[in-house]
Structure 1
Amino acid sequence: MTSTSFVVFISLLLRLSGAVCPQGCLCISDILNCGSLGLDRFPNPLPFTASVLDLSHNRLTWLAAGSFYGLPRLHTLHMSHNRISLLSPGAFHNISSLRYLDLSSNKLQVVGKYHFQDLPALEVLLLYNNRLTRVESNTLMGLGNLRKVYLSLNQITDFPFFSIRKHSHPNLATLDLSSNRLFRLPMDDIVVLPVAVQKGLFLNNNSLECDCSMYRMFWHWEQKGYPSVKDYKDDYKCLMYGEPQISINFLRSSHLFENCTIGKMISLISPKADKVVYEGEQVRLDCTGTLNGEDLSYSWIIPHQENISQLIQNGTLRLNQDGSLDILAAQSIDSGVYQCTAVDNTRMINESREVNLTVVVQHSTEEAFNTGYTTLLGCVVTLVLILMYLYLTPCRCGCCKPPPPSPAVSTFGEDRCTLSSIFAAPSTDRLKSKSQSDRHVVFLEPLMTGKNGVPKAAFVVEQPRIEWDTENFTIIREREDSE
């Protein structure tokens, strides 16, 4: 085999094995580097073994559907510093294991909800230094593993903060929106972001409107030492309207915000709490939250329509110094949602908390229990009495084998060993025979002295002798003996 044939053979084997390196690219193990080659189309073929692909600093203008077909192991993709202005739906199909995507320094204008839906494992997304004007509400939907998103150096005027929640993005710690064109911030959506997101939310170098709620939020973050504010304190500016329009560093100009009114304060919402108590118990509803300080005031909204001040005066309710509300003796009518609002007059922040109170009527449950318990106890006692009668009485019907009695007596014995005879009244015949036997009574006269001083009866009335079966207490026979 000649050297030329050997090279062709080796090339064919490499191509069949998928390990061939595109012309001009650098292939090292599972890394494919095709950067800075002036490419205006994708190199072909791409080895399926690649887990890291670098296509940065080229002239690519768009990503077609299935552009990365055949790269199942790819987890890192660098495509910065190209001319990409369009992402086709399905552009990232077949690379679901991708964790790092760099599309920075391109010409993207819009990112939509279908562009990244094929990347559930994505952790880091770099889109800074593009021409983005907006981010659609579902752009980050389904990206539950996101940790960092970089959107700075764009022209974004609005961002869907409401789409970022703890359950949808539990790992998100960095959201960079610095150096954009944000003017008014949706404060109600921002203050309910997870704390980890607030700490890593970069909003510096935007054209923010000077506003009390905006100032108080960033002042609060600075006091807590959030890096996104503390490390870029000089880059937070806002526009004050007048002649001329002035941009000020508001975190270093606190004296300009002394006249902020309570109507523009930040509203914080704490999670709703549930409380279950029994009727008649004393209940304390807390108004504690994240606010603390000396200049706090509290107010309550109760579910029923009565005047809360009147209820406090007549002793039904009691408002404590810490803002908690006591219901001295809870009734079923007190069930409902109680809302407390705590106001920090110094920092111009208010926080609301809801408590869902359920008052259980205790006696109805106890009565039902007592009735059932009494019924069960009665049944048990009745069963015990029956068993005692059956097994502790002298006559055990299945075991008694008395000697053959007379017909009259036999009928009496059989009848008394049945349940009907146990609980029935005694028959007339039995009463009659019993009364007749009771009439055999001996009356003794005073004794008289006989011969040799031996006493003897004056006379003796003859009486019948009755023989009993002592084991079964039945009459065997009657006989008369004369003395």
Structure 2
Amino acid sequence: MTCRLYPGLRLFLLLPLLHTSEETCPPMCLCISDTVSCSSSGLSKLPLSIPTFSVTLDLSHNHFSWLGPGNFDRMPRLENLRMSHNQIVTLTHDVFRNASGLRHIDLSSNRLRVVEHHYFQGLWRLEELLLFNNKITQVEAGTLSGLSSLKKAYFSLNQITHFPFFSIQDHSHPFLTMLDLSSNRMARLPWEDVKALPRLVQRGLYLHNNSLICDCTMYSVFWHWDLRGYDTVKHFTAEHVCTISGEPQGSVQFMQYSRFFHNCTVEKVVSQPVTVLLSSVFAYEGESIHLDCQTSLNSTDLSFTWLSPSRGYITQVSSNGTLISLFPNGTLEIQATKVSDSGLYVCTAVDVKQELNATREVNVTVHLPTAEIFNTGYTTLLGCMVTTILILMYLYLTPCRCSCCKQPRPPAIPVAPYDPGALSSVFCSSSREQAMIQANKHVAFIEPMVGNGRPLDKVLIQELPVRCYSSVSAVNEKKNVMSLSRRPPPLHLKGIPTKKAISPFPFLALFSRTAR
């Protein structure tokens, strides 16, 4: 049995296959999720089969020389376009048609010469524009018009001589925080337009490495920026150079050697009606924070808009039913903060009647909750308590009296009875000497002590035999002598006054008498 398909039915069945082929990744590219990378592929024109759901498209390091109209029509979700290191000379009209969702465009390191006003028309969501390292000599007045979400614009490393500062105002670019014009060829700037820039733009305006002409107006502007502590001046002090008029070779690092401008009169800082207040808020995850939007606008009829790093724009309407609340006075409340809420929050206060606006920046940092650190005071108190308890235990607890804990007593040393002639063994080393001592016996008398001016009676000391012992006995006798200090004092004889005691060493008197 055969089945015949009508031609119309065949075409209907092939439509899904055609749609699938359009979504396939080009063979020279790498497709990962919503990112398509075709860098260093030798491309000179845009591939036709790029997936339409692409959010990031990388075409850097190729051979593109221009971009035609409607190149990105089929990519409405495109947000990041990287086309650096190509040979692009110009962009045609409507090149970014149907790509209004672009937030990041990188056209650095190309061959652009003039940035025309229609290049970025309609890109109201664009936040970063990178045009550095080109050959740009002119930036037309309307180039940045309509870029209300622009935050950073890089024009450094070009040949720009003039820039339309007057086109940047508070109401047109409320979020612009960086304008890099360094390393160009600007000699004279419209300093009045520069001083009229929003304070947030002045804080992020980079003008170093330009061939500026030295004059008092120029020095006054940079002097005020240095006084306010702007990073653009503080971080590039040595690169701020001006040229002395009439001397091409004479350049001065005017931020380091200000003595060349001692004749200049620097005006005092005048507070402008619109100011930007900078602050920082630190919190732990789960805490609630309040961010105020206090500006110099005193009007009561103000509308407030917050730009958050993770949630985008926040208004009173969009904050309903969420953990974020925007109060009528502009205060933003974030309940149960998370680490992802960290970043720079920018509040814009708009006075519709007076056509004025002001911005305020708040840098929020959310930390993870950490374990509570043990206080040093508690450690000291605990140490004192433990020491006190140990001392009390040492003083009042009864020592162990069991037999297992008792220490053995040291052996007792026998003490021989006292013998007055013990020390004589020290001087007698042989029996011959002992015989000589026995033959020569003497009677020793102690001279009476004089007391109260009259002599006392002589005391007769009994005749004492002197004995000699062997060397072993002499050692034992020496031990007995060492114990004499423990014995009680000798008794006194009858008839002898109490003031005179019998010497415990009578042989000393014997030798003393013999010597006389």
- TM-score, L = length of structure 1: 0.52
Please say if residues 105 and 130 of structure 1, whose CA atoms lie closer than 8 Å, have aligned partners that are also in contact: yes
User: Which is higher, the Rg of structure 1 or of structure 2?
Assistant: 2
Cα separation, 2, equivalents of 1:11 and 1:132: 47
Deviations 1:90-109 (A, max 9, x none): 01111011100000100001
What does residue 112 of structure 2 align with? 108
Distance 1:30 1:21 in 2: 11
Residue 246 in structure 1 maps to residue 228 in structure 2: no
Secondary structure of the structure 2 residue equivalent to 1:156: coil
Distance 1:46 1:266, change over 3 A: farther
In the alignment, which residue of structure 2 is the partner of 1:120?
A: 124
Aligned pair partner of 1:233 in 219, 237, 245: 237
Q: When the two structures are superposed, what TM-score results if normalisation uses the length of structure 2?
A: 0.49
Residue identity opposite 1:135 in structure 2: V
- Report the alpha carbon displacement of residue 216 of structure 1 after superposing the two structures with TM: 1.6
Cα distance in 2 for partners of 1:10, 1:35 equals 33
The answer to whether the Cα contact below 8 Å between 2:151 and 2:175 also exists between their aligned partners in 1 is yes
Residues of 2 paired with 1:61 and 1:266: CA distance?
Answer: 51
The answer to whether structure 1 residue 39 and structure 2 residue 43 are counterparts is yes
Distance 2:248 2:203 in 1: 34
Can you list the C-alpha shifts for 1:170-191, whole angstroms capped at 9, x where unaligned? 0000000000001011111111
2:230 paired with 1:214:
no
Distance 1:140 1:132 in 2: 15
Structure 1 residues 12 and 24: alpha-carbon distance in aligned structure 2, compared to 1, 3 A threshold: farther
Matched residue of 2:226: which SS?
A: helix
TM-fit CA distance, 1:72: 0.8
Cα distance in 2 between the residues matched to 1:19 and 1:244 = 59
Provide the C-alpha distance between the structure 1 equivalents of 2:189 and 2:248, rounded to a whole number of angstroms: 23
Q: How far apart, CA to CA, are the structure 1 residues paired with 2:46 and 2:272? A: 51
2:169 to 165, 168, 189: 165
Q: Find the residue that maps to 1:101 and give its secondary structure.
A: strand
Pair 229,255 (structure 1): closer, same or farther in 2 beyond 3 Å: same
Report the CA distance between 1:16 and its aligned residue.
2.7
Asked whether the 8 Å contact 1:55–1:79 carries over to 2, the reply is: yes
Counterparts of residues 61-140 of structure 1 (less than 5 Å)? 61-140=65-144
Deviations 1:323-345 (A, max 9, x none): xxxxxxxxxxxxxxxxxxxxxxx
Q: Aligned partners of 2:21 and 2:262: how far apart in 1?
A: 72
How many residues align structurally? 263
- Aligned 8 A contact 2:55 2:78 in 1: yes
Partner amino acid, structure 2, of 1:152? S
**Residue 146 of structure 1 corresponds to which residue in structure 2?**
150
Mark the runs of 5 or more structure 2 residues left unpaired by the alignment.
1-12, 275-295, 297-516
Following the alignment from structure 1 to structure 2, what is the Cα–Cα distance between the partners of residues 148 and 240?
32
Q: Does the CA-based 8 Å contact 1:192-1:268 persist in structure 2?
A: no
| Distance in 1 between residues matched to 2:65 and 2:238, nearest whole Å | 37
1:25 is displaced (CA, Å) by 0.3
**Greater helix share, structure number:** 1
Distance 2:176 2:68 in 1: 29
Q: Which amino acid aligns with 1:171?
A: F
Q: Which amino acid aligns with 1:131?
A: K
1:23 equivalenced with 2:27 (yes/no): yes
SS at match of 2:225: helix
For residues 183 and 266 of structure 1, the distance between their equivalents in structure 2, rounded to whole angstroms, comes to 25
The equivalences for 1:54-453 within 5 A come to 54-242=58-246, 245-261=249-265, 270-271=272-273
Relative distance call for 1:76 and 1:14 in structure 2 (3 A) is farther
Give CA deviations for 1:25-53 in whole Å, capped at 9, x if unaligned: 00001100001111111112111011100
Amino acid across the alignment from 2:65: T
**What is the rounded CA distance, in whole Å, between the counterparts of 1:159 and 1:232 in structure 2?**
21
Contact 1:90 1:118 in 2 (8 A): no
After superposition, give the CA deviation of every residue in 1:371-403 in whole Å (9 maximum; x if it has no partner): xxxxxxxxxxxxxxxxxxxxxxxxxxxxxxxxx
Q: Aligned to 1:251, what secondary structure does the other structure show?
A: coil
Aligned pairs for 1:458-469 (under 5 A) are: none
Separation of aligned partners in 2, 1:22 and 1:266? 62
Deviations, residues 243-291 of structure 1 (Å, cap 9, x unaligned): 56301100111111011257xx69968449xxxxxxxxxxxxxxxx9xx
Closer/same/farther in 2, CA of residues 268 and 67 from structure 1, 3 Å limit: farther
**Retained in 2: the 8 A contact 1:188–1:267?**
no
Letter in 1 for 2:189: L
* Alignment-mate amino acid for residue 77 of structure 1: L
Counterpart residue type for residue 37 of structure 2: N
Distance in 2 separating the partners of 1:101 and 1:145: 13
Q: Is the 8 A contact 1:192 1:269 kept in 2?
A: no
Looking at structure 2, the residues matched to 181 and 266 of structure 1 have their Cα atoms a distance apart, in angstroms, of 30
Give the alignment's Cα RMSD to 1 decimal.
2.3
Q: Helix, strand or coil: the match of 2:20? A: helix
Between the aligned partners of 2:116 and 2:141, the Cα distance in structure 1 is: 8
Mean alpha-carbon deviation: is it higher for 161-170 or for 243-252? 243-252
| CA apart distance, 1:115 | 1.1
| Deviation readout 1:219-257 (Å, 9 max, x if unpaired) | 211121101111111100000134563011001111110
Q: Is the 2:224–2:269 contact (alpha carbons within 8 Å) kept by the matching residues of 1?
A: no
Distance in 1, matches of 2:228 and 2:271, equals: 18
Give the counterpart letter for 2:180 in structure 1.
Answer: D
Moved over 2 A (4+): 9-19, 241-245, 265-272
